[in-house]
Amino acid sequence: MADVNLFTPGRIDGFDTKNRLIMAPMTRSRALAGGVPSDLAIEYYTQRASAGLIITEGTAPCADGLGYARTPAIESPAQVAAWKKITDGVHGKGGRIFCQFMHVGRIGHSANRYTKTQLVSPSSVKAAGQMWTDSMQMQDFDAPRELALHEIPGVVDEYAKATKNAMAAGFDGVELHSASGYLPMQFLSTNTNLRTDTYGGHVNNRIRFAVEVLEAMTKAAGSAEKVGIKISPAMPFNDISDANPVETYTTLVKAIGSMGLAYLHVLQSAPEPSYFKMLRPLFKGPFAAGGGFNKDSGNAMLASGGADFIVYGKLFTSNPDLPARFQKNAELAAFDPNTFYSPGAEGYTTFKSL
Ligand SMILES: Cc1cc2nc3c(=O)[nH]c(=O)nc-3n(C[C@H](O)[C@H](O)[C@H](O)COP(=O)(O)O)c2cc1C
């Protein structure tokens, strides 16, 4: 493995990747009302087509799954048509793009949603904290209601429908967002899952939702090779915590390790314990590592065999041609947190390639 670096072509099952850089899923809050991606997103993603693989911003698989201001969904014909223009743009530049399905579960506010339904979660445990709304600035998270047992197959099916929509929109694959305190992680974690039925309690029950969703997405995509998953073990973001993350995530990854998935994407948010080291041997397939990598640490990770792909987030916001800049040892543009979620082109499509 010693000769593998960021510029070695890779393989994400159905296709060869130009390099080993994956653009991380990043919410950028430029979508139009009703969860429709704006035309600005065509330029934004197309500018970044030199990544080995682009993973889109978190995209709601269904109206219930949308919680943030100006974020997109992929359930309606208008949303699918808008995404098709984006995938066409990326493919036109020889890029590849997966759609990340982000169902927020309990992390949302009614002012950001186009449905009037209440937030849903494995249990009715309100998240501590606040989020941005355009009409009322910062607001406490809404309280969620507990999903009834008989409703869960319907939620799983919404991911399957979204997968079919993503395929119709020309995506190369789909990623289940099971990280950062959103719905699948709410099922995995002991502070948000207080259920006593087959979806709660024992770890084998808490992983059930994520496994069933991956199976449904695989069936809808026609192949597991088109389905990836992102996890962020022990990450406290969005008021989430688990009594035993080592047990939870080793159990989950063992359960999905032989499904033939496109990849396992792990966001490591603290130095120790290394979930990269712990989980890589349990997963038979491409392993993507993310969280604070630069060029040197990415190359070192690949050379050591610790991962097959490196996922870069913030650096891709301000360096659309990040692979070329790394390869040429060119200067990197500093990212600008002030424009991560602001409306309009500024800080979104205004960072140019060299
Ligand atoms: C502006 C911004 C938005 C993000 N939105 C998402 C998201 O929608 N889905 C997701 O899985 N992670 C999201 N993340 C996390 C990134 O995917 C990535 O895991 C994280 O930024 C760590 O990588 P980095 O240190 O290379 O930026 C976001 C990060 C940033 C900076």
Question: φ and ψ at 278, to 5 degrees?
Answer: -70, -40
Sign of CA dihedral 171, 177, 180, 181: positive
**Which residue among 21, 22, 26, 336 has the greatest number of ligand 1 atoms within 8 angstroms of its CB, and so is best to mutate?**
26
Look at the block and give the residue holding tokens 């992102």: 230
CA of residue 150 to ligand 1 center, whole Å? 33
Query: Would you state the pLDDT for residue 3?
Result: 87
| pLDDT tens-digit readout, 171-199 | 999 999 999 999 999 999 999 999 999 99
Neighbours of 201 (CB within 10 A): 14
CA 150 to chain centre: 27
Distance (Å) from CA 317 to ligand 1 centroid: 10
How are beta strands 15-17 and 10-12 bridged, if at all? antiparallel
What angle (nearest 5°) sits at the alpha carbon of residue 274, between those of residues 272 and 279?
150
CB 261 within 8 A of CB 227: yes
230 lines ligand 1 (CB under 6 A): yes
Handedness of CA 273, 203, 290, 225 (dihedral sign): positive
Nearest CA to ligand 1 atom 10: 25
pLDDT at position 14: 78
238 contacts 182 by C-beta, under 8 angstroms: yes
Q: With pLDDT > 90 as the criterion, what percentage of the chain qualifies?
A: 98
What ligand 1 atom has the least distance to the C-alpha of 57?
A: 8
What pTM was computed for the model?
0.98
Cβ of residue 267 lying under 6 Å from some atom of ligand 1: yes
| Cα 209 from Cα 231, distance rounded (Å) | 14
d(CA 4, CA 302) in angstroms, rounded, equals 6
Question: Residue 1: is its pLDDT beyond 90?
Answer: no
Considering only residues 33 and 320, tell me which one the structure prediction assigns the higher pLDDT: 320
Helices (H) and strands (E) in the chain, counts: 11, 14
Q: At what angle do helices 208-221 and 245-256 cross, to 10 degrees?
A: 30
DSSP 8-state symbol, 60:
B
Verify whether ligand 1 is closer than 6 Å to residue 310 (CB atom).
no
Our answer to whether residue 249 is catalytic in this structure is no
pLDDT for position 13: 75
CA nearest to 90, candidates 169, 36, 27: 169
Res 2: pLDDT = 55
Atom index in ligand 1 nearest the CA of residue 179 equals 11
Cβ proximity of 275 and 211 under 8 Å: no
**Quick one: which H or E segment has residue 302?**
helix 295-303
Whether residue 15 has pLDDT greater than 90: no
User: What's the chain's average pLDDT?
Assistant: 97
DSSP for residue 163: H
Q: For atom 14 of ligand 1, which residue has the closest CA?
A: 26
**Surface-to-core class of residue 150, CB atoms within 10 Å of its CB (0-12 exposed, 13-18 middle, 19+ buried):** exposed
CB 26 less than 6 A from any atom of ligand 1: yes
| Number of C-beta neighbours around residue 15 at 10 A | 14
- Asked if residue 57 has its Cβ within 6 Å of ligand 1, the reply is yes
The one catalytic residue in 45, 68, 159, 182 is: 182
Are 227 and 217 spatial neighbours (Cβ–Cβ below 8 Å)? yes
Mutate-to-test residue for ligand 1 from 314, 319, 339, highest number of ligand atoms within 8 A of CB: 314
| 346 three-state secondary structure | coil
- Among 334, 306, 303, 316, smallest CA distance to 7 is for 303
**C-alpha torsion sign, points 306, 312, 313, 314:** positive
Average pLDDT of the residues in 143-162: 98
Kindly report the protein residue whose alpha carbon is nearest to atom 28 of ligand 1: 26
The answer to whether the CB of 256 falls within 8 A of the CB of 229 is yes
Is the CB of 240 within 6 Å of ligand 1?
no
What pLDDT, in 10s, does the model give residues 268-288? 999 899 999 999 999 999 999
